[in-house]
Copies of this chain bind each other. A is one copy, B any other.
Amino acid sequence: MDNKPVIGFIGIGVMGRSMAGHLLNAGYPLHVHNRTQAKAQDLLDKGAQWQDSPGKVAAVSDVIITIVGFPNDVEAVYLGDDGILVNARAGSTVIDMTTSCPDLAQKIAEQAKTKGISSFDAPVSGGDIGAREARLSIMVGGDVEVFEKIKPLFEIMGKNIVLQGPAGSGQHTKMCNQIAIASGMMAISEAMAYARKSGLKPETVLKSIESGAAGSWSLTNLAPRVLQGDFAPGFFVKHFIKDMKIAIGSAENMGLDLPGLQLAKQLYEKLADRGCEDDGTQALFKLYQDQL
């Protein structure tokens, strides 16, 4: 238990609270910062140290982990005046686990390198339940040698940890994940809308189709919730829209047209305009429900 690196953790939201908690439970010294201090109280009660800014966290930590809201937040936390890169020590490692822009991840990695800091982008999938149960899939971009050293930290928070390539590769991989989910949500919404409109019993339809070529995680896990009128968030519509915007921006930068993703984003924005941005992603079905 000796020689454990000191961990700094910035962003104690639904995900961060569970993830930082696992590190604390595993015996790592933990410094935390969050915009709203109250959300960190559980962790402080268990022995984490509060710091008043991202910079102060960085100054006392060997490994600094962040999971904040939007790319703007990532930029401020890393590149701001009282941010991480100004204050972190040479030889330290920074890991951004926010879902954010691939090019921002590359920019942070470049600036980090000039200061002798190793930088990783490592967004996750698996949601709040995955974070709580330490079963996250973690998609990592960064240097392979340092990756091997910090991998034990990832293994405390997740199950499926894959180094995808250099800086930005974690974010790009997460974009692939969100792109696949986006059209996939149209797929299940439209299939269930058709089922109900045509007078079928959609639950019985699932028995015929979910184990075959139409099968998906969403069909098995989200379609039954949709059919029960359960639109409670596993993953928020507003966060999904953020991710799709990042993916579309990134695809445009590369000169790649993704019409399915574009359509899904338009539909989700329509949904958000109706005041459903705090619903779960399965609420896409509501756009079709009007026609039933």
Contacts and interface: CB of A to CB of B under 8 A. Distances in A.
Nearest to A284: B260
Copy tally for this chain in the complex stands at 2
Interface in A233-253: 235, 247, 250-251
Q: Which of A127, A200, A250, A254 neighbours the largest number of chain B CB atoms within 10 Å of its CB?
A: A200
Contacts of A164: 200-201, 204-205, 208
Given A173-B200, A175-B194, A177-B209, A184 B216 contact: yes
B209 A125 contact: yes
Interface string A184-200: 10111111111101111
A291 interface: yes
Interface residues on A, range: 35 or more
B256 A263 contact: no
B218 A213 contact: yes
Contact of A211 (B160, B189, B205): B160
Given A198-B102, A258-B190, A180 B219 contact: yes
11 contacts: A127-B213, A164-B204, A164-B208, A176-B194, A179-B190, A180-B188, A180-B216, A186-B260, A215-B216, A216-B218, A256-B288
Interface of A: 102, 125-127, 137, 139, 160, 162, 164-165, 168-169, 172-173, 175-184, 186-195, 197-201, 204-205, 207-209, 211-219, 221, 235, 247, 250-251, 254-261, 263-264, 267, 288, 291-292
